[in-house]
Structure 1
Amino acid sequence: MWLENKRVKEVLSTQSASGVIYEDLAKIPLNKFQTTVMEKKDSINKLNYQIVTVKEKKLTPAQVIANNTEILSLIFGNIVDFKERKNVELSCRKFYEVCNHRTIRSYFPFEEMNYSHFCTRHDEGNLRIDMYGQEMTINIPKEFSFNEINMDIFTKVFRKCLSKVNSLNIQNISLHHVDFFMSLNCFKKIENVNMEYETLVNGGDIIFSKCSTLNPVNLTISNVFLIEENIKNVGQYTLPESIKTIHLSSMSFEWLLKKMGSIKIGIFDNLIYNESLSCLMNEKNKLELYLKLITYFKNISYEVYNFETIPNNEIFNKILLKNNIASFVTITFNDNNIYERFSRLSKDERSREAEGYIQNLKNPTRRFLAQPGIHLNIKKLKILDIHEKRINCPFFPLEIKK
């Protein structure tokens, strides 16, 4: 690694003495730097409180640099690999002080949590950055502000780290944080964005509008902490057309619908709904939003309970047919009476119970998979008894008949 920096040259020019000119000091390999200290303190270095003087001896360029805290901080700030930076920090007391002193802003210490997982916190507002393999997670509390004191260090951290990951998890950023990220121009490699609901509430989602290089392929809106606060919907903008797949819960329906703007019907590839469609169909307002949303997608993924038709099935079926929307369906099982009672019934009682259940399903309008909008466009069907609700109840061919 070679250091070429205008500021280094400026600092070095002030170190020349007795007519000695260091013409090539701006290009010195890092492995040539030594920890030998010099007799002269640099004016900006508050760390050199222990000085070993070297009398009447000509100092080498390496010695000049090794004792200049500002140059060392510039060097260490350009070492991107976290393990290498940790090794530099532990190599000697002088380097440790340079790397960790609060007056030095070019180095940002990451704590190694475990293999390939690094974490750092900032004292102000409990800001946190996590690096795990190709993923970066940021949590910037609403009360935190970027300012002249911390701007330089965070600019370097985000530019270097974001250029090396393809997944960005945004636990929280607010509207007033977005301007800082606008100038970074460092999102080109990001393919996956996971944005938590709190960011939407605080207006941080406008980062999609203001940061032109943020063009992910996959977007997930999660609600880890079940926040009930309404989304502000700051600014009118449409989502990047680079997005192909969107994962979300019902709390984000309205937000997503407002971001469609003039986007064409069927422009996105996949909408993955994270909750049960059987429950959603009983909530009128959310259902209306969902039925509008699915028209913007070529494929939708959802889960339903059991094999019977769901509430408001007719309108759902018509929209799928009209827009030729393909389905990835997962069928699971809840507390249906027949499943619960089956293990306690005698053989004759089981036969009667099964006969009544089958008789009800003989009407195609009562079978979910028999609906034309479903079976004509179904791409993948999964049947999962993950809660072992049907462990004592057999499956019947009629349940999956078209």
Structure 2
Amino acid sequence: MKDNTAAWLDSPYADLVVRDAPMPVPTSGQLLVEVRALAVNPLDAIIQSNGAVMYGWLRYPVILGEDVAGVVVAVGDEVTGFSVGDRVVAYAIGLEKGRDAVAESGFQGYVVVDEGLAAALPDSMPFEEAAVLPLAISAAAAGLFESDQLDLDYSILAGQAPRDEVVVVWGGASAVGGNAIQLARAAGYRVITTASVGNHDRMRRLGAEAAFDYRDPSAVGQIVEAVNGSPVAGILAVAVGSAEPCLRIARATGAARIAMASPPVSFYDQPRRRGLSLARMRLFLRLGVRTALLQLRSRTSGVRASFIWGSAIATSPVGPAVWGGYLAEALAAGRHLPYPEACVAGEGLSAVQGAVDMLRRGVSAQKLVVILAPTSAIS
């Protein structure tokens, strides 16, 4: 096994710098994974752009990255489901409070991950395809199934008898939305979604029974008509600006809960540099005002609207149900498709900063992936 390297974030707002990193050591219940592919997420760009906002507990330098796929090269005590040489996809949660933002983050050659947040990959699935999944499916699962979110029944994923209840996913072409469609269908719910017209067929292939253009001014009315009086179990709001139309749908259908995967403003609309700026001040003013108005409108309508925190599944029964009980088998059987499509943005850790910058400029129905060459004796 060779030395480890990582793409480091040395300080808020800085560019990522590739250099040596400590070799992570798996503790009880953890796997050491040699990373073969990693994906970038809006969260990585937001942390780099926001400094201490949101993730104020981070102590720099840190390593970003949540989505990894690779090969297990060592296991900690009490690991029962994996062995050295296994091909896995895993959710790296080093950026979360109380975790190790160096050893447990994904933008590096080797990373330690919790056994309960890893799933075996079929031999036929390339690492770059699998790397799109971890944060997206975890956030989708949290929004759908956590008791303080939509609280849907996940007792028999991929085996539940069909229900008449509808789940509305606003933003189905997003990474979280596409995985939410598949998870909700696996739990037996009907799904109605929104996406651009060019993605409607893709949404149906993922399991949505109907898809509507989110840019159409009549989309809310079309969704209400498609629900046709059926009970709406919950609404998942994905993408900036999705909460307001979702609240109108909830009012019209009697839905009691909205789970929100995105803030009401884009954090990309600010300079990536230290200090106050007019753009940053305006952004956080809009964020505060729109969030307060949304909460006021939802409460007066009897609707509970809450923001999703994807890593919540790491300490709840949802994590084992999705990662341990569902994902590996569903991938092997083709019941859960890696979504969104992987777009390879480069090879090697030096390509990660460019991928994050590309993400800021906008990516639709794809996830940017960086491929890493194998470094250990395990092929």
User: TM class, shorter-chain normalised?
Assistant: under 0.3
TM-score for the superposition, normalised by structure 2: 0.27
**Greater relative contact order (CA < 8 Å, ≥ 6 in sequence):** 2
